[in-house]
Amino acid sequence: MTVIVKFFANVKKLIGKDEITLNLAPSRHYRIRDILQEIAEHQNKDISPFFTKEQGIHLRTVRVVLNGRIIYSLDSLEATVQDGDRIAIFPLLAGG
């Protein structure tokens, strides 16, 4: 199955790409957490500020959007990813 991951702002700068397409084994069950870990393992860069291999993702430094909907908390990263899903990754920012 195919999953498209887009990167924004500081995350894009760190990864060095706008987006990557992951071709994943259709037989395996992937959660969003697994996808992020996949990215962490395959990028030949120091992306530790945003991702760690142990956790898949740093809780408070990025925001994940799945198919246009925000994943509000770490627990939601257990959600299953399906063929054709679009994931966007942002720095965790807002303010006023």
26 binds another protein per the rule CB under 8 A: no
6 binds another protein per the rule CB under 8 A: yes
Q: Residue 74: exposed, middle, or buried by beta-carbon count in 10 A (0-12, 13-18, 19+)?
A: middle
Two tokens, residue 18:
């706008």
Question: Of 26 and 75, which CB lies nearer to another protein in the complex structure?
Answer: 75
75 binds another protein per the rule CB under 8 A: yes
Contact indicator for 43, 28 with CB cutoff of 8 Å: no
User: Which residue ranges make up the site for another protein (CB under 8 A)?
Assistant: 6, 8-10, 13, 18, 59-60, 63-65, 68-70, 72-75, 86, 88, 90-96
